[in-house]
Chains A and B, each alone.
Chain A
Amino acid sequence: DQQVKQNSPSLSVQEGRISILNCDYTNSMFDYFLWYKKYPAEGPTFLISISSIKDKNEDGRFTVFLNKSAKHLSLHIVPSQPGDSAVYFCAASAQYNFNKFYFGSGTKLNVKP
C-alpha cells in the first residue's frame, strides 16, 4: 500500500525560477515528514524536515509546507539552480511506529540553465 505518493515523476524548471515538488499521504497518524535529494550513484541525502506541529519550515533556499487537513506537503526551491537537478523523495513517519519511514516514488527535477 502506497501511503506516500508523489504523483509527478518529473519536473522541469528554468534556472532562477521556483521549483515546487508535491507529496500526498494517506495515513493521518504520520506526524514527521522529510525530503531527501538523490543524485545518480549516490544514496539519498537529507534535505529538510517538518513536524506536524508546524505548517512551514525554511532552510535557505528550501521551504517545506505542510497542510495536514489536505494530507499534503510541498517543497519549494527558490531560486532553482542547475545543481538542484536530482531526484527528490518525500518520506513520512509516525511516532507510534518508531523510525519506520515511508517513501514516495520520487520526482526527478531538471533545472535548465
Chain B
Amino acid sequence: DAGVTQSPTHLIKTRGQQVTLRCSPKSGHDTVSWYQQALGQGPQFIFQYYEEEERQRGNFPDRFSGHQFPNYSSELNVNALLLGDSALYLCASSLTGQTYTDTQYFGPGTRLTVL
C-alpha cells in the first residue's frame, strides 16, 4: 500500500518563474492538503482540496493555486516566484469522514529553491 508520494524531490527555479508540484494521496484517501515549511518553522497550511474543489485556504496570496484530479491526485502551482517561496512543500492526504478529526498522512515533500 503506497503512502503519499510527491514529485519532484528537489527543484531549483529563478525569481519570476512558475512551478508545479505534484502529489498522489495514500490509497483510499480523497482529500489533499498542501503545506509550506520554511527553514526552522512548522508547516503552514496553504489550502485543501476535496471533490476537486478548494475547501479551505490559509493566508497565502493568489500566486498559489491548486488543482485536484478525479483520481484524487493534486497539483500545487506557484506563479511569479519570489525568493521567500523557497521552502519544503508538503502534501498531506486524508479521508474525509463523518467527523473533522481526520488524520493527515504526509508525503516526503518537495524542496523548492528560488534563486
Contact = CB atoms under 8 A, between A and B. Distances in A.
Interface of A: 4, 6, 9, 32, 34, 36, 41-46, 49, 51, 89, 91, 93, 95, 97-106
Contacts of B101: 32, 49, 51
Given A99-B94, A99-B102, A104 B4 contact: no
Contacts of B58: 100
A100 B59 CA distance: 12
A105 B35 CA distance: 13
B40 A34 contact: no
Interface in B23-55: 31, 33, 35, 40-45, 48, 55
A45 B106 contact: yes
A76 B48 CA distance: 31
A42 B6 CA distance: 11
Given A98-B55, A99-B56, A100-B56, A46 B104 contact: yes
Contact of A43 (B40, B102, B109): B109
A101 B56 CA distance: 11
Nearest to B101: A32
A43 B100 contact: no
B107 interface: yes
Contact of B56 (A91, A98, A105): A98
A53 to B, nearest CB: 11
B106 A106 contact: no
Contacts of B4: 43
Interface in B101-115: 101-109
A100 B101 CA distance: 10
Closest 6 CB pairs of A and B: A43-B106, A103-B42, A44-B106, A105-B42, A103-B43, A100-B56
A91 to B, nearest CB: 8
